[in-house]
Structure 1
């Protein structure tokens, strides 16, 4: 699996930060705070696979911040069941060993979005073998307080930060590929389609807050057909 990425370096005082982000904007990917103890992500097939690849890249890049800008993405179509999500939010993935304080992010983001900030265009490749299967996931282990393969959540500057181990990012990545795979054929078979609504729904949840006493919210990924062109 491959993804076109931009790599940038930002120095703040004595600290130097390496930031990875998609080379092209994510057109059909959105992240919102649902307001009911969950974060909701919406993806189409193409961007679902791109995001899954970037999550695998986060697992292989412990010294980098993986930045997914989604605040400016056009919102997904109207949601069924008479509710609308809150947001939108950007997403940053980072290995826990970086010990990056979210309060520093706003200055880093300002630097990398300047027109004169150097950027390297690269093609990142990750092996398919890095993607775990459903059978390889030990769900009861999420209940252990000492479990380190849990994604910690922080909010700052309209950004959701997910901090964890390489195993945690690999575990979550597979859900984006599953939604991108099973969403399109299911939508094609449905004669009455309500985007991400009650009549039709293909989704994955990769965090269960009742299994962890640390107060994180559920993260819910749902398929939504392409809404921009």
Structure 2
């Protein structure tokens, strides 16, 4: 998998953050804020780029992976009044507060260094190798946590979380090859820090990622 990015270093106060902004590829992907869940629509090439972004996130514990998806256009299946969002993937250990994102994003237009990441598909385990039973153990930490800020959805997790969920994202491409033009999708859910915790107010706890024929 290959992904073109621009590397930025954005400073806010005494803190500096490394941001890898994914550059537009051949495909399309758009993130739509919904009433009950968030929809991420992608064609086949867009799905491949999404999988590569998940792999890059797993390998980049000190960086924010920024996918500027809200420039659209949205596919016809989306509501005409839909609110479009950007997407950021990041590690728990980075400790980045989403409340700072608006300020950080405003600094990304200043320069940046082009970088192409080559990512092996072997980073993703086979679907039957994902340890689903461990999700129910006390202290389980390998899920994705959802947060929203500044018209952006943040998915925060461990390297393992991005590898496991990346396997599902990558499957969209292979399923689309077999099933197109029928519906093909995967769903990712917010993993609570405690059994009773929920996503922050105003943030959906479900991300529906769907293959959509080119639009």
1:52-83, Cα deviation, whole Å (9 max, x unpaired): 1011101100000000111111011225xxx7
Q: Conserved in 2, the CA contact under 8 Å of 1:19 and 1:66?
A: yes
Q: With structure 1 as the length reference, what TM-score do the two structures score?
A: 0.84
Q: Quote how far apart the aligned CAs of 1:27 are.
A: 5.4
5 Å matches for 1:33-72? Answer: 33-36=33-36, 38-72=37-71
SS in 1 for 2:107: helix
Q: Conserved in 2, the CA contact under 8 Å of 1:40 and 1:222?
A: yes
1:165-219, Cα deviation, whole Å (9 max, x unpaired): 001111111222211221144225xxxxxxxxxxx31111232779954324122
Distance 2:84 2:97 in 1: 21
Q: Conserved in 2, the CA contact under 8 Å of 1:144 and 1:212?
A: no
In structure 2, the gaps of 5 or more residues are: 200-204
Partner residue in 1 for 2:202: none
Q: Quote how far apart the aligned CAs of 1:85 are.
A: 8.3
Q: CA RMSD in A?
A: 2.2
Partner residue in 2 for 1:197: none
Q: Conserved in 2, the CA contact under 8 Å of 1:35 and 1:86?
A: no
Q: Conserved in 1, the CA contact under 8 Å of 2:145 and 2:190?
A: no
Match of 1:142 among 132, 135, 138: 135
Q: Quote how far apart the aligned CAs of 1:14 are.
A: 0.9
Any runs of at least 4 consecutive aligned residues in structure 1 with deviations exceeding 6 A, and if so which?
Answer: 208-211
Match of 2:108 among 112, 124, 145: 112
1:4 aligned to 2:4?
yes
In structure 1, the gaps of 5 or more residues are: 189-199
Q: Quote how far apart the aligned CAs of 1:149 are.
A: 0.5
5 Å matches for 1:165-204? Answer: 165-188=158-181, 200-204=182-186
Distance 2:106 2:49 in 1: 24
The alpha-carbon distance between structure 1 residues 65 and 208, as it changes in their structure 2 partners (threshold 3 A), is closer
The alpha-carbon distance between structure 1 residues 140 and 133, as it changes in their structure 2 partners (threshold 3 A), is same
Distance 1:130 1:58 in 2: 11
The alpha-carbon distance between structure 1 residues 179 and 4, as it changes in their structure 2 partners (threshold 3 A), is same
Q: Conserved in 1, the CA contact under 8 Å of 2:22 and 2:67?
A: yes
Partner residue in 1 for 2:198: 215
Distance 1:219 1:17 in 2: 26
Distance 1:154 1:221 in 2: 17
Q: Higher strand proportion, which one? A: 2
